[in-house]
Amino acid sequence: MVIGAELVFGSKMLEGYIPLALQDPDPFKLFNKHKDMVVLNDKPWNIEAQAHLLDDKITPNSCMFIRNNGLVPEGIDAKAWTLTIDGESVKNQKTYTLEELKSKFNHHTYQLTLECGGNGRAEFNPPAKGNQWTVGAVHCASWTGVRLRDVLEDAGIKSNAVYIGFHAVDKHLSMDPKKEPISRGCPMSKALQDETILAFKMNGKAIPLIHGYPLRLVAGGWPASVSGKWVNRISIRNKVHDGTKMTGTAYRVPCKPVAPGEKVKDEDMCIIESMPVKSLITYPKTGAIISKSKSLNIRGHAWAGELEVAKMEYSIDFGSTWNTCTIEKPANRLAWQHFSARVDFPKSGYYEVWARATDTNGLAQPMLLPGWNPKGYLNNACHRIAVKVK
Amino acid sequence: MAEEFNFKSEVKKLYSLLLFLFTLFVVGGGGLIYYVNNPDVFDFESKTETIAVAPIEEDEDRIENGIHVRTGLIDAEGLMTVVNNCTNCHSAKIVTQNRMNTERWNATIKWMQETQNLWDLGGNQEIIVNYLVANYPPKAMGRRMELTDIKWYELED
């Protein structure tokens, strides 16, 4: 085709249709993302936010990170969509249409914090393999759906049930139909929580395709990889689910602490469950120059996996002294909490504002990198922004 | 003379006819081509929708400032072996993001062969790993880096 040529009969094409030959698309338009989002990978698509993009209390689609292990499914028909509950520990294998799920079970809406297990990987030393997420692989959107518990109980759960594992329709990068890009899950105790839902809405609208349309498992507070997108089957297992990315080193950390760079055998790696306490300064954007006569109002969010954040502090002297921030209660369990503080600087110069959250068990964020692990998970080191006072 | 005059005028007539037909052909044909490319030209209610077409590179493997433009990989010995073996399933962006030593690049290849359907690389494996270690080696970062690339701005109230 000629450079800049108009597509013959282009105007007769269906709206939203992307011709195969032109699939070198602009991801920002394709996924309706903010221009400041950062593309880490384009096959598969992996895109992260920056701290200042996450300033909203409820994250809009435009600023939600995208994490994919495989290829985004095409041609989804929600009317024909079904969810099957099967597995060794289901009493009666059952299949529901999307409409049946919506009409048969009560709807619930929760704000749920989803953070990629590898958020912050870029800082590990020696470096860890994978997408080099910095700070932006976290969001807290509002999800509406039915409780996974209600659906599992409708099918019937045998007393020997241990774990659930999801299956979805995304394709493996190698296009091998026998391979699943990802099939993770969680123990029954997490599966049966009130807030673990099969969602069909995000922020009040149908879930965008890239975030799992038409049905997504959402399990807040755990690595976001538990929250399977495009889910069409959930297996109730009589053992720990052994799907793709459940075994080996994926989403696992050493059961016992190891020295940086140490080799760890697969059998000495343990599955990540709740994410650790963490926080993010979302205002102002790093690099603010202010005048000495003015105080700086900072704000952001803090979260603590299964727990709540009990205390929020900031420091402008690299941790010599800490000052308290105001921290709000979460909108519901597993939602991130909003903090704010008024910061005064004693004299002009270069400062860093560091933020530190402490959870209800008394665990605080480290200022340095936490324990090194081979895959670079769970970096919950304090976030900081640079500020100059004139 | 009369005959000659007749002949001249016949030639003139024929010439005019040919000129007319040629003009008709050029104008009509051009118009038709324009219409095929702009089917909405007489459709005054709908706007012509232009669909952006990514320009196709004249040389898809061209190098600019030491970078292989299509993949973002550094231009160095072994580049095309890496492009041909390592960008079929995934984007080169997952390569350029990472920093590993010989042992870990080899381990990564082994993992891809065991779980991701990567083929046996044969003699190319050494070329690929040498390229990766030379161009994407680990760099020491310590326990916490200083903040870099700060874009300073005046904060308005």
HEC letters along B11-79: HHHHHHHHHHHHHHHHHHHHHHHHHHHCCCCCCCCCCCCCCCCCCCCCCCCCEECCEECCCCEECCCCH
> How many Cβ pairs within 8 Å bridge chains A and B?
108
- Residue A48 near residue A132 (C-beta atoms within 8 A): no
Nearest to A9 among B39, B54, B154 (CB): B39
Sign of CA pseudo-dihedral A184, A190, A195, A196:
positive
Nearest to A7 among B53, B116, B138 (CB): B53
pLDDT digits (tens, 9 = 90+) for A193-212: 999 999 999 999 999 999 99
Nearest to A174 among B89, B97, B142 (CB): B89
- One-letter amino acid of A328: E
Same domain, B130 and B71: yes
Nearest residue of chain B to residue A40 (CA atoms): B93
Work out whether strand A163-168 and strand A231-237 pair parallel, antiparallel, or are unpaired: antiparallel
Chain B residues with CB-CB distance to A50 below 8 A: none
Chain B residues with CB-CB distance to A375 below 8 A: none
> d(Cα A35, Cα A26) in Å, to the nearest integer?
11
Domain membership flag for residue B79? yes
Give A25's pLDDT tier (boundaries 50, 70, 90): confident
Identify the residue whose tokens are 């009040």.
Answer: A204
Interface touch B46/A11, C-beta < 8 Å: yes
For residue B37, what pLDDT is reported? Answer: 61
Interface touch B147/A367, C-beta < 8 Å: no
A168 phi and psi, to 5 degrees?
Answer: -145, 175
For residue A203, the number of C-alpha atoms closer than 13 Å in the C-beta half-sphere is: 14
pTM for this entry: 0.83
**Beta-bridge partners for A288:** A387, B153
In terms of Cα–Cα distance, which of A267, A234, A223, A230 is closest to A249? A267
CA distances from B49 to A7, A8, A14, A311, B152 (A): 9, 11, 12, 55, 40
Chain B residues with CB-CB distance to A51 below 8 A: none
A390, exposed or middle or buried, with CB in 10 Å at 0-12, 13-18, 19+? exposed
Instruction: Tell me how long chain B is.
Output: 157
> d(Cα A33, Cα A233) in Å, to the nearest integer?
29
Q: Looking at CA atoms only, how far is residue B4 from chain A in angstroms?
A: 53
The SS3 assignment for A10 reads helix
Q: Looking at CA atoms only, how far is residue B22 from chain A in angstroms?
A: 27
Interface touch B53/A5, C-beta < 8 Å: yes
Structural domain span for residue B23: 1-45
Q: Any chain A CB within 8 A of the CB of B65?
A: no
Domain membership flag for residue B118? yes
Count CB-CB contacts under 10 A for residue B111. Answer: 14
Chain B residues with CB-CB distance to A13 below 8 A: 51
CA distances from A338 to A125, A130, A215, A387, B157 (A): 31, 30, 28, 21, 21
Same domain, B70 and B108: yes
> Does residue A3 register a pLDDT over 70?
no
Interface touch A132/B98, C-beta < 8 Å: yes
> Does residue A53 register a pLDDT over 90?
yes
Q: Residue A157 has which token pair?
A: 């759960």
Same domain, B69 and B129: yes
Count CB-CB contacts under 10 A for residue A32. Answer: 13
The number of folded domains in chain B is 2
Chain A residues with CB-CB distance to B147 below 8 A: 286, 352, 384, 386
Same domain, B31 and B68: no
Domains A70-271 and A278-389 agree in fold: no
- Residue A238 near residue A161 (C-beta atoms within 8 A): yes
Domains of chain A by residue range: 18-66, 70-271, 278-389
For residue A17, what pLDDT is reported? Answer: 44
Q: Any chain A CB within 8 A of the CB of B148?
A: no
Q: Which residues of chain B have pLDDT under 50?
A: 1-2, 40-41, 43-48
Same domain, B79 and B115: yes
Interface touch B100/A288, C-beta < 8 Å: no
> d(Cα A244, Cα A238) in Å, to the nearest integer?
17
The SS3 assignment for A56 reads coil
Identify the residue whose tokens are 């008709």.
Answer: B24
The SS3 assignment for A22 reads helix
B33, exposed or middle or buried, with CB in 10 Å at 0-12, 13-18, 19+? exposed
For residue A382, the number of C-alpha atoms closer than 13 Å in the C-beta half-sphere is: 25
Chain B residues with CB-CB distance to A6 below 8 A: 37-38, 50-51
Same domain, B30 and B79: no
> Does residue A335 register a pLDDT over 50?
yes
Q: Any chain A CB within 8 A of the CB of B54?
A: yes
> Does residue A68 register a pLDDT over 50?
yes
Domain membership flag for residue B15? yes
For residue A181, what pLDDT is reported? Answer: 96
CATH 3.30.450.30 for domain A70-271: no
Average pLDDT over residues A82-105: 98
| A300 membership: H or E segment, kind and range | strand A296-303
CA distances from A227 to A25, A148, A152, A307 (A): 26, 12, 16, 18
Nearest to B48 among A11, A179, A284 (CB): A11
Q: Any chain A CB within 8 A of the CB of B102?
A: no
Architecture of domain A278-389: Sandwich (2.60)
> Does residue A175 register a pLDDT over 50?
yes
Nearest to A352 among B51, B147, B152 (CB): B147
For residue B45, what pLDDT is reported? Answer: 44
Chain A interface mutation, best of B36, B93, B116, B146, highest count of A Cβ atoms under 10 Å = B93
The better pLDDT of the pair A287, B23 is held by A287
- Residue A382 near residue A281 (C-beta atoms within 8 A): no
Same domain, B108 and B68: yes
Domain membership flag for residue B126? yes
Q: Looking at CA atoms only, how far is residue B5 from chain A in angstroms?
A: 52
Nearest residue of chain B to residue A45 (CA atoms): B91
Interface touch A127/B138, C-beta < 8 Å: yes
Nearest to A3 among B56, B108, B138 (CB): B56
Mean pLDDT of chain A: 94
In terms of Cα–Cα distance, which of A386, A359, A227, A354 is closest to A302? A359
Average pLDDT over residues A68-78: 95
Same domain, B70 and B127: yes
> d(Cα A279, Cα A61) in Å, to the nearest integer?
20
Domain membership flag for residue B149? no
- Residue A133 near residue A116 (C-beta atoms within 8 A): yes
> d(Cα A118, Cα A223) in Å, to the nearest integer?
8
Same domain, B14 and B40: yes
CA dihedral A137, A142, A148, A150 (to 10 degrees): 170
Same domain, B128 and B80: yes
